[in-house]
Amino acid sequence: TVAKLFVAPFSDETLFNEQCNKANFWYQQNFHGVDLSIIRESANGENFSQPIVDTFDINICMAKPYAFNVDFRTMHESEFEVIDIPVTFQVWQTGTIHGFAFWFDVGFLGTQKHVWLSTSPTEPLTHWYQVRCLFSTPVFVQENQCVRGRVVMRSNKRQSYDVEIEIT
């Protein structure tokens, strides 16, 4: 079995504003006598640390996705504890990168038949959807600009990954 994990920068002003608005509750300085504004930054950070699991139109992507290849037949289990993916993108248009979008394809390579499952936003919907990770501070980019970054996925005890994203 093989897989490809796709990563692409995206722009979605509406989604970004929705996440920002979730923190508005914490701007209250007199909520039944309690000043909530002192935890506003922490609450906003928590909002932006949560992945958005849903579907999206591929046209929000601002560059060709980077494909990270995995061959489950040859990789050792320990190699999945920390997955470090350096990424480079050539941006198609001037705009704002609000985060990175993720999806995957899996190939079940049998001796008589190969079957592929795709969670791409261009393919029929599955129950896995796609994932978007928002930046708390969007990045403005110019058309044809080269954007570099890194996605580090660390396995956790919830049978999932904690994701750290850097962009330069």
pLDDT of residue 90: 98
Compute CA distances 64 → 7, 28, 75, 115, whole Å: 9, 42, 26, 24
Q: Report which of residues 43 and 7 the model is more confident about.
A: 7
Query: Each residue of 103-140: pLDDT tens digit?
Result: 999 999 999 999 999 999 999 999 899 999 999 999 99
Query: Each residue of 33-44: pLDDT tens digit?
Result: 999 999 888 888
Distance, in Å, from the CA atom of 152 to the CA atom of 165, rounded to the nearest integer, reads 6
> pTM for this structure?
0.91
Distance, in Å, from the CA atom of 114 to the CA atom of 36, rounded to the nearest integer, reads 55
DSSP the chain: -EEEEEEEEE--HHHHHHHHHHGGGGG-S-BTTB-GGGGHHHHHHHHHHS-EEE---GGGB-SPPEEEEEETTTS-GGGGSEEEEEEEEE-SSSEEEEEEEEEEEEEEE-SS-EEEEE--TTS---TT-EEEEEEEEEEEE-TT-EEEEEEEEEE-TTSSEEEEEEE-
Distance, in Å, from the CA atom of 45 to the CA atom of 81, rounded to the nearest integer, reads 25
Tokens representing 139 are: 């990045």
Q: Percentage of residues in the chain with pLDDT exceeding 90?
A: 82
Residue 24 confidence (pLDDT) above 90: no
